[in-house]
Amino acid sequence: MKRRNVIILSVVWLLVMVSIVASTATLLATGSFPIGRSRSEERDMASRYARLETVRRELSEHYYEEVDEDALLTGAIRGMMATLGDPYTFYYTPEELTAHDEQTEGAYQGLGFLVQNNASGQIEVIRVYSGGPADAAGAQVGDRIVAVDGAPVQGVSAQSLQDAVERMKGEAGTEVCVTVLRDGERVDLDILRGDVAASNVESSMLPDQIGYIEIFQFSGDDVSAFESALDSLEEQGAKGLVIDLRNNPGGKLDDVVKIADMLLGECTVVYTQERDGSREDYYSDAECCALPVSVLINGMSASASEILAAAVQDLDRGTVVGTRSYGKGIVQTLLSFEEDGAGMQYTSALYFTPSGKNIHGVGVTPDVIVDSDYENYSGEPDVERDEQLRAAIEAVAEGIE
């Protein structure tokens, strides 16, 4: 095995590209796997798993058509993992893992929008990258993808979403027809696959010298871009700061801790706990931004987004505004296999907020709850139409001396 990573992610979110992403919160880890079983138990286990080889051999030798041995192996692995009923535990083919790694770096070839499973089992566009292929084709935030090249797709599970993404993948310069449901009508988008620069942070100065930073994912250029944005806003005389995490699916654990370190002061940002009770804490130091802060979240703010929002709330560092977040408080381990570049991930731990809460299945409840029909969180902030943003600005203004 080439590497072992611990990750926090929400696999119901994927960036449509030549690859797939499971927006991860990642932490390098080392070590071997403790077996925890006696030799007799290991022999018994090996005997039981011999059935797999018997089935493989029987199919390989006697099935009425020639079988694909690689497909049999992949199917067996995915079937084993599927029995756990855990959407965050699944297998990567070499191509899928390579694509995941490429997207994490923030530059890739593909379509250029971010999608998620919604509560209705549809695949919903939550961000369109400015200047990318999907943007040029007219894709919009809120579009529901219902077909790819005429074949129906759905997002009822991580696997069905992955299958849909696979259909949208392809060589740069080739075209794919993505059919979306928009305002009750079907719209065909002919998208020419190409280069996408996925910057994960955008910022601007709002009225009354309130700085605004939107983080799309905790990966790629997020840490350096956030630091640059924060420095720029402070140089421009910002008196307060709104951090927008709405529709942010999560990302690297290291990254969210580094960004929290710029905001929180000396504290525990988050800690994880494994099945055996072992705990690992992640800290920030004393040096931080002194501006009053508010954080925007919604039902699609997940994983690493919830870590930052919960830390701000628990430590009374600012005001959390919006609607209750997604509720993902578990940790995954990612393994890659050196022999062929494939990989797997599985749920391995819980994570807890600084006050000791696990928000899995519960989410973070904002200090100020504001429901809104406004959904265009991608692009320039719209203070006039965005009720949640106005509430976040008001919360920050209350903290300005």
Domain ranges of the chain: 39-82, 107-196, 201-398
Same topology between domain 107-196 and domain 201-398: no
pLDDT digits (tens, 9 = 90+) for 324-376: 999 999 988 889 999 999 999 999 999 999 999 999 999 999 999 999 887 66
pLDDT of residue 377: 60
pLDDT of residue 379: 62
User: 201-398 — its CATH code?
Assistant: 3.90.226.10
pLDDT digits (tens, 9 = 90+) for 168-188: 888 889 999 999 999 999 999
Longest CA–CA span in the chain (Å) reads 79
pLDDT of residue 369: 98
Record the tokens describing residue 95, joined without a space: 């191509």
pLDDT of residue 170: 83
Which of helix, strand or coil describes residue 353? coil
Confidence of residue 47 (pLDDT cuts 50, 70, 90): confident
Confidence of residue 6 (pLDDT cuts 50, 70, 90): low
Left (φ > 0), alpha (ψ -120 to 50) or beta: where does 348 sit?
alpha
Mean predicted confidence (pLDDT) in 86-108: 79
pLDDT digits (tens, 9 = 90+) for 278-329: 999 999 999 999 999 999 999 989 999 999 999 999 999 999 999 999 999 9
Give strand ranges (E) for 62-154: 90-92, 107-117, 123-128, 144-148, 151-152
pLDDT of residue 110: 81
Helix (H) or strand (E) holding 345: strand 343-352
Q: Mind telling me the catalytic residues?
A: 303, 314, 328
Architecture of the CATH domain 107-196: Roll (2.30)
Decide if pLDDT at 32 tops 50.
no
**What is the rounded distance in angstroms from the CA atom of residue 157 to the CA atom of residue 178?**
19
Q: Which stretches of 143-242 are DSSP H helices?
A: 158-168, 222-235
Decide if pLDDT at 31 tops 70.
no
Which of helix, strand or coil describes residue 27? strand
Cross-strand bridge partners of residue 4: 29, 335
Higher-pLDDT residue of 169 and 50 is 50
pLDDT of residue 100: 76
